[in-house]
Amino acid sequence: MNAVSKTPPRLWVTTLLFSSTALAALILVPLYGIFHGYHWYQWLAFAVYGALCGFSITAGYHRLWSHRTYEAHWSLRLIFALFGAATLQNSILIWASGHRRHHRHVDDNDRDPYSAKRGFWFSHIGWMLRDYPSGKVDFSNAKDLQRDKIVMWQHNHYIPITLAMNLGLPLLAGWLTGDIIGMLLLAGVLRIVVNHHTTFFINSLAHMWGRRPYTDENTARDNDLLAFFTFGEGYHNYHHIFQTDYRNGIRWYQWDPTKWLIKTASWLGLARNLKTVPTIRIQRAILTMQFKRAEQKLQQSSHKERWRRVLEKEAQDFAAALAEWKELQSRRYENARERLLAKWESAAIRTRVKELEYSLNMQRKRLQIMMEQFHLCPVSATQ
């Protein structure tokens, strides 16, 4: 007999969190605005605090810790850890390890924590409301993060940090400006809800709505509108095929403020080793998709044979260019290896010279001791 499938148990903490904050944002925020009103500085606090939290997810949780697309100074990592906790999206360790599983098993309903193939509601928020097997916490893919002191500090003290960032800061700002409730509602409740759903839209809409210029092997899409609201995360089709690139929007005109933040941080000495994908690999992905779509359209053409010859010629040129690129990459690798070998040999020679210098120095000391002994104990001529 087949085992009866059971609905996973509900996770009441996240269920109450999402429902209460959403209801407060929909009811309390507008009511307070109608009967009391908000000041411009409260809206400014909402925007600035929201941006700091959003960047802490996109530049911190996502591109820094989940994908290691660059390295950051401890001060920048600390800021990301603090404001990332303020988003109430769990600790860096839990968030990043789950996201790595998503990339490894994308669209696999049994292993992708928020598989879009299980529907919009599940991928958007439903996966966090029940204890699904695909969402089980597993840190086996995050050994590097467990060696990060800031990551582990935030993980081990997540609750107090979260309370300080979500209640302490808004309360302080409200006390300083004379309107605690208004500040709590805008910089606290509304900001949390907006941060939640802009992130969640990448898991849901960015896998359902948009174009796929780089790959159709998964559901991820590029969407300019989502990129605008998610600090550049909407170029999701590119990200899923080139996840080690610190950029999501690779064109100069594409809206990716997270990329600009990381680049600016590198100019200030707060970030380094920014990883990018070689242009030819990007072009290869685009052309591969274009050939695939051209082949599909060719089946509907009334002049199949003529266009097939043209397409085959283009495919041959493409294959030749790729072969030449691979050859150049191989030669580049060989040259790098030869330089490395030469560098190693030079280092080996320097080491050997040091050893010889030490040996000669010790020999000199031995001779000196022997000479002193000669004066104390002259050697007989007959010996």
- Digit-coded pLDDT (tens) for 75-89: 999 999 999 999 999
Distance CA 32, CA 41 (A): 16
Whether the CB-CB separation of 70 and 266 falls below 8 Å is answered with yes
Note the pLDDT of residue 363. 44
355: Cβ contacts below 8 Å, ≥ 6 apart: none
The helix-helix angle for 304-376 and 279-298 (nearest 10°) equals 160
Q: Which residues pair with 364 in a beta bridge?
A: none
pTM confidence score: 0.81
Return the pLDDT at 279: 83
The whole-number pLDDT of residue 152 equals 98
Confidence (pLDDT) at 225? 96
At residue 62, φ and ψ (nearest 5 deg) are: -85, -70
pLDDT at 379 over 60: no
Give the dihedral of Cα atoms 53, 233, 18, 208; nearest 10 deg.
Answer: 170
Q: Are 246 and 273 in contact (CB under 8 A)?
A: no
* DSSP string over 63-121: IIIIT--SEE-HHHHHHHHHHHHTTTS--HHHHHHHHHHHHHTTT-TTT-TT-GGG-HH
Q: What is the pLDDT of residues 129-174, one digit of tens each?
A: 999 999 999 999 999 999 999 999 999 999 999 999 999 999 999 9
What does the angle CA 139 – CA 122 – CA 61 come to, to the nearest 5 degrees?
A: 40
